[in-house]
Amino acid sequence: MAPEYILIEYTGRDDTVAIKYIDEMDFKGKKVFVRADFNVPLDKEQNITDDIRICETIPTIKYVLDKGGAVVVASHLGRPKGKVAKEFSLRPVQKRLSELLGKEVLFADDCMGDEARAKAGALKPGQVLLLENLRFYAQEEKNDEEFAGKLAELADVYINDAFAVSHRAHASVEAITHFMKECGAGFLMKKEITSFEKALNNPQRPLVAIIGGAKVSGKLEVLENIIQKVDAILIGGGMAFTFLKAQGMEVGKSLVEDELLETAKTIMQKAKDRGVRIVLPVDCVAAREMKSCVPYKTISVKELTPDLMGLDIGQETIAEFGKVIKDAKTIVWNGPMGVFELEEFSRGTFAVIDQIAGSSAMSVVGGGDTDSALRKSGKMDKITFVSTAGGAFMELLEGKVLPGIKALDK
């Protein structure tokens, strides 16, 4: 029976991408190159402090092994800038990966060359080989074809399970697919793509987007794209004050991008024309400085004076956001509601987490700061899907087709 292909449609773009997923492929007797994202945090003793990215790729590796294949795993770690750096070695990952798989994972001290070829060539079904850091070579980030060809020599089949780097056209993400006869996406990639597709392109309505973070400039393309898709947008974080000032309000020392005031007005008008409700803060937690242990108070956004800055959303805003979240059937969230790293200004972000966690809506959450706040809350299991990516998630929100996904187009 011929394998089916999944069509991923990106509304607002001309591209339609057909992807073959791992559970539609045959791996018996084959060597499989799995591009993973093992860019995990390490302490000074080279101990892994958060192994979630390794854990997320285990189902893909195990599936290949269970189907009679051998696995060559490749990843980057940190930013060695094209040079060998001991502190960015994947040796600690080899140890943890072995523990999670319950079997020895072989290691090659290079990602190409004689040792890598010999060890990959000797792999038997059921065995796993981890290559050393791809970014020890500058050619990786340059999407170098020759480098990609050498990686491709190590296996018969290519599987991308590294969604978090799929917004980059790197050799192990994009160029390598030019040399492989069969390419597909792993289970993590499948979860990321299908969850996003369901939330933004085929949602149950009302569809609500919650957008926060510091600056409008970092979310312009996101806002432009989601206005065409959502029913309501809740705007928090520092970026809210650019919108409030665009409405003629005094925002004191709050973070504002004055050069984007007209852009903010345009976005609000486009939303109005499309019948999309934009909900802005009505009150905020304000202080004279952005640091711990300073006096702060909750005031109406209309009461901000030149000596104050808004650093979190207030209780009235939390309540207003909560009404919209309660009625939502689908929720997409990116960006905190305030300076959540400081306890005094974290309540808004954690209140929104509580509201989403208590909702029956499908919820998709992504972005580094948002993910950090969610982990700190202890309510990860209450969210339908939490993206492992920051930049890649943002580019999907912007309506872009990621190079790593486009490269899998069959």
If the chain, 410 residues long, is cut into consecutive pieces of 10 residues, what is the mean pLDDT of each piece?
39 62 96 97 92 95 98 97 96 98 98 97 98 98 98 98 95 97 96 90 94 89 92 96 96 95 95 97 96 94 96 98 97 94 95 96 88 89 88 86 90
pLDDT at 215: 86
27 part of a folded domain: yes
173 plus 264 within the same structural domain? no
226 part of a folded domain: yes
Q: How many structural domains does the chain have?
A: 2
Q: Is 391 a catalytic residue?
A: yes
How far from 224 is each of 252, 364, 402, CA to CA, in Å?
A: 27, 19, 18
Q: Which residue range(s) make up the domain with 290?
A: 196-397
Q: Is 215 a catalytic residue?
A: yes
173 plus 217 within the same structural domain? no
pLDDT at 9: 43
211 plus 154 within the same structural domain? no
Question: Phi, psi at residue 316, to the nearest 5°?
Answer: -65, -40
234 part of a folded domain: yes
11 plus 128 within the same structural domain? yes
pLDDT at 220: 87
Which among 270, 329, 391, 406 is annotated as catalytic?
391
| Cβ neighbours, 10 Å, residue 160 | 30
pLDDT at 16: 63
Rounded Cα distance, 189 and 192, in Å: 5
pLDDT at 3: 37
Query: What is 54-121 written as a DSSP string?
Result: HHHHHHHHHHHHHTT-EEEEE---S--TTS--GGG-SHHHHHHHHHHHTSPPEEESSSSHHHHHHHHH
Q: Is 368 a catalytic residue?
A: yes
Q: Write the CATH number for 373.
A: 3.40.50.1260
387 plus 296 within the same structural domain? yes
pLDDT at 214: 87
Q: Which of 142, 167, 189 is the last residue of a domain?
A: 189
Which among 30, 31, 35, 53 is annotated as catalytic?
53
127 plus 65 within the same structural domain? yes
Rounded Cα distance, 278 and 330, in Å: 16
176 part of a folded domain: yes
Which among 368, 382, 390, 406 is annotated as catalytic?
368
228 plus 376 within the same structural domain? yes
pLDDT at 370: 87
Which among 62, 91, 215, 329 is annotated as catalytic?
215
